[in-house]
Amino acid sequence: MNDQPKVLVIGLGLIGASFAKALKTRGEAYVYGYNRREGVAAQAKELGVIDEVVDNLSELPDVDCIVIGVPVLAIAAVIEAIKPALDKVKAITDVGSVKGEVVNIVRQQLGYVPASFVPGHPIAGAEKSGLMAANDQLFENHMLIVTPLEETSAEATTLVSRLWSACGAEVVSMPVARHDEVLAATSHLPHLLAFSLVDTLSRESENREIFKYAAGGFRDFSRIAASDPTMWHDIFLTNQDALLAVLRRFQADLSQLEGAIERGDGDYLKVVFERAKASRDHFS
């Protein structure tokens, strides 16, 4: 075990298990794992994703860092269960896709925000979920956003950042509210559109028959509609304000396009499409 940090990952799904596996395979940490569903942590050990199984959150080993890898609305139960251990760890972090509500949850559960708490969010993922989707390269060359709070200690932020950097991620820091605004626009709204479009089309098409005519564009756009419904249910309900703000702006723009198509206003369509193409070409 030498002087590696000891890390406990709670929630061994796509993100938690990928993080655990990345740390373990790179020799960057001694990794403990806990999962609520029975048998998952033992399987993670067999697969070499973690070093040791934790069976019960009321009996935690001494670790340097706890990483919570569960859906956002499951975080409250985890914080409640690990309360007694929180004063002993150097850092505690999460990987939830929403940050404001996670901070609220921690504050509500504990009555304060511990100095060890560093909210985090890897900007990497997949439409697959669960332990078997774990990929130790998942974070390689992807961003990891930390949103340290006034209460957060520099020591805790440094440890969490070091662990993510060791997995190949580029760590960036931003305020909680900015994180939720940016992610509402770049991730949450596109997922909502994909879920909604695929649902509309599949309800209109008997036996989903039209999907067999789908070409690359639709496949690319709709891939994320295969993402985990529980995880996204939690995200949409916990980032309401930022999501509704961008959704309403988008709905207004979509109505403008609808009007332009109705009145045959090709000039308007061209202006919008050219502006969009220039932006997309710029960031690719």
Residues of this chain that bind ligand NAD (CB under 6 A): 10-16, 35-37, 40, 69-72, 74, 77-78, 95-97, 121-122, 125-126, 129-130, 228, 231, 235
Contact call for residues 9 and 50 (beta carbons, < 8 A): yes
Instruction: Give whichever of 16 and 208 is closer to ligand NAD, judged by the CB atom.
Output: 16
One-character DSSP codes across 5-30: PEEEEE--SHHHHHHHHHHHHTT--E
Instruction: Give whichever of 220 and 281 is closer to ligand NAD, judged by the CB atom.
Output: 220
Minimum distance between the CB of residue 172 and ligand NAD, rounded to whole angstroms?
A: 14
Start-to-end C-alpha separation, the chain: 42
Minimum distance between the CB of residue 98 and ligand NAD, rounded to whole angstroms?
A: 7
- How many other C-beta atoms can be found within 10 angstroms of the C-beta atom of residue 167? 25
Rounded-to-integer distance, Cα 88 and Cα 95, Å = 21
Lookup: tokens for 243? 């999501």
Minimum distance between the CB of residue 12 and ligand NAD, rounded to whole angstroms?
A: 5
Instruction: Give whichever of 11 and 148 is closer to ligand NAD, judged by the CB atom.
Output: 11
Contact call for residues 195 and 189 (beta carbons, < 8 A): no
Contact call for residues 198 and 222 (beta carbons, < 8 A): yes
Instruction: Give whichever of 29 and 124 is closer to ligand NAD, judged by the CB atom.
Output: 124
Lookup: tokens for 130? 């669960």
Minimum distance between the CB of residue 162 and ligand NAD, rounded to whole angstroms?
A: 20
Minimum distance between the CB of residue 256 and ligand NAD, rounded to whole angstroms?
A: 31
Instruction: Give whichever of 70 and 225 is closer to ligand NAD, judged by the CB atom.
Output: 70
Rounded-to-integer distance, Cα 106 and Cα 113, Å = 6
3-state secondary structure of 243: helix
Instruction: Give whichever of 166 and 272 is closer to ligand NAD, judged by the CB atom.
Output: 166
Residue nearest to ligand NAD (CB): 13
Contact call for residues 114 and 92 (beta carbons, < 8 A): yes
Sheet containing strand 52-53, strands side by side: 52-53, 30-34, 6-10, 65-68, 91-94, 117-118
Minimum distance between the CB of residue 6 and ligand NAD, rounded to whole angstroms?
A: 19
Q: What are phi and psi of 5, to 5 degrees?
A: -65, 150
Minimum distance between the CB of residue 272 and ligand NAD, rounded to whole angstroms?
A: 29
Instruction: Give whichever of 229 and 259 is closer to ligand NAD, judged by the CB atom.
Output: 229
Q: Is 60 exposed, middle or buried (0-12, 13-18, 19+ CB in 10 A)?
A: buried
Instruction: Give whichever of 29 and 169 is closer to ligand NAD, judged by the CB atom.
Output: 169
Minimum distance between the CB of residue 72 and ligand NAD, rounded to whole angstroms?
A: 5
